[in-house]
């Protein structure tokens, strides 16, 4: 499934600053003359956004880890087929907020689903398709959750539809996520760049831009 564009993903725990940095990188690349598509998971297509609503909203239900994983890959199949792969085939840069590493971290390391089962589903649904470059945002969970809750408090009007189902898990869960993401990065050092998300917005943006431009050369 290789294609001429570049597929970049942003990963990490809650409130680490991914969305902020995706917007800055997209602007920097667009200003430099590249064609850029930004998207997110779960979501990115009408079908996948419907699945997102099932999973991330406060009253989103009590899915088992396997059920959650299957829903995430159902959404991902549609997203890759309708948005990501066509843009890559046109030579565009696709920047995605979360992808399969989030399933490994949340459903695998966090909720205890066997990692080899996740890889089997990944292989069966996407033939193992994945990003060329991944930024893994690392932050102390308390700091990330406090950033998230500040943002939610500023934006949220309807509590039932608040997308904080995973944010409401306990700190031990978020620590497992953090260690999971770090282990994923350690296992694939060529693809994954760990970002110290405690830094200032400007410092992090500069590091991400430099790494991305280095990959594009
Ligand atoms: N999920 C997803 C799974 O369980 N499995 C999967 O396979 C997938 C794909 C998705 C949820 O679904 C789960 C994981 C998630 O729980 P999401 O929308 O991606 O939800 O969730 P979040 O990561 O929680 O998104 P957030 O928007 O909360 O966090 P971001 O995008 O990391 O952070 P951002 O940029 O919105 O920043 C948060 C706040 O911090 C400030 C910002 O201004 C904002 O107010 N901020 C900073 N403050 C200080 N210093 C910095 N450097 C800052 N950068 C940003």
Q: What is the pLDDT of residues 19-73, one digit of tens each?
A: 999 999 999 999 999 999 999 999 999 999 999 999 988 777 789 999 999 999 9
1 Cα–ligand 1 center, Å: 29
pLDDT for the residue 1: 44
Map tokens 């990065």 to a residue: 185
pLDDT for the residue 159: 60
- Which residues are 39's β-sheet partners? 96
**Average pLDDT for the chain:** 93
Q: For ligand 1, atom 12, which residue shows the shortest CA distance?
A: 56
Q: To test the ligand 1 pocket, which listed residue (11, 12, 19, 113) has its Cβ within 8 A of the most ligand atoms?
A: 19
pLDDT at 163 over 90: no
Q: To test the ligand 1 pocket, which listed residue (102, 112, 149, 207) has its Cβ within 8 A of the most ligand atoms?
A: 102
Q: Which of 20-29, 59-68, 143-152, 154-163 has the lowest mean pLDDT?
A: 154-163
Instruction: Find out whether 15 and 147 touch, Cβ atoms under 8 Å.
Output: yes
Q: pLDDT band at residue 160, thresholds of 50, 70 and 90?
A: low
Q: pLDDT band at residue 151, thresholds of 50, 70 and 90?
A: confident
Q: For ligand 1, atom 8, which residue shows the shortest CA distance?
A: 102
Nearest Cα to 56, choosing from 5, 106, 122? 106
pLDDT tens digits, one per residue of 115-130: 999 999 999 999 989 9
Nearest Cα to 183, choosing from 172, 194, 197, 196? 194
Give the architecture-level CATH label for domain 6-216: 3-Layer(aba) Sandwich (3.40)
Q: What percent of the chain has pLDDT over 70?
A: 96
212 Cα–ligand 1 center, Å: 20
Cα–Cα dist 14/109, whole Å = 15
41 Cα–ligand 1 center, Å: 11
Q: Which of 133-142, 151-160, 191-200, 202-211 has the lowest mean pLDDT?
A: 151-160
Side-chain-side CA neighbours of 158 within 13 Å: the count stands at: 4
Side-chain-side CA neighbours of 199 within 13 Å: the count stands at: 16
Q: For ligand 1, atom 54, which residue shows the shortest CA distance?
A: 17
Q: To test the ligand 1 pocket, which listed residue (76, 126, 151) has its Cβ within 8 A of the most ligand atoms?
A: 151
Nearest Cα to 70, choosing from 101, 107, 98? 107
Q: Which of 68-77, 162-171, 202-211 has the lowest mean pLDDT?
A: 162-171
pLDDT for the residue 87: 98
Q: Where are the domains of the chain?
A: 6-216
Long-range CB contacts (within 8 A, 24+) of 28-31: 28/205, 28/209, 29/93, 29/212
pLDDT for the residue 155: 72
Stretch 87-113: mean pLDDT: 98
pLDDT at 161 over 70: no
Q: pLDDT band at residue 18, thresholds of 50, 70 and 90?
A: very high
């Amino acid at each position: 499934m290789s294609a001429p564009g570049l597929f970049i993903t942003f990963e990490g725990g809650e409130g680490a600053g991914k969305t902020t940095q995706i917007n800055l990188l997209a602007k920097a690349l667009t200003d430099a003359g590249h064609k850029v598509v930004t998207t997110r998971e779960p979501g990115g297509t009408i079908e996948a956004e419907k699945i997102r609503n099932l999973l991330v909203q406060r009253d989103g239900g009590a899915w088992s880890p396997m059920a959650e994983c299957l829903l995430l890959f159902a959404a991902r199949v549609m997203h890759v087929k309708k948005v990501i792969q066509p843009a890559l085939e046109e030579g565009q840069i696709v920047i995605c907020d979360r992808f399969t590493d989030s399933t490994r971290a949340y459903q695998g390391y966090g909720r205890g689903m066997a990692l080899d089962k996740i890889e089997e589903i990944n292989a069966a649904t996407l033939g193992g398709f994945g990003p060329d470059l991944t930024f893994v945002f690392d932050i102390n969970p308390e700091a990330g959750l406090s950033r998230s809750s500040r943002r939610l408090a500023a934006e949220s009007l309807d509590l039932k539809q608040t997308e904080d189902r995973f944010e409401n898990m306990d700190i031990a869960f978020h620590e497992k996520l953090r260690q999971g993401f770090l282990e994923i990065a350690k296992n694939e050092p060529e693809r994954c760049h760990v970002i110290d998300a405690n830094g200032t917005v400007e410092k992090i943006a500069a590091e991400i831009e430099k790494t991305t431009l280095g990959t594009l050369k």
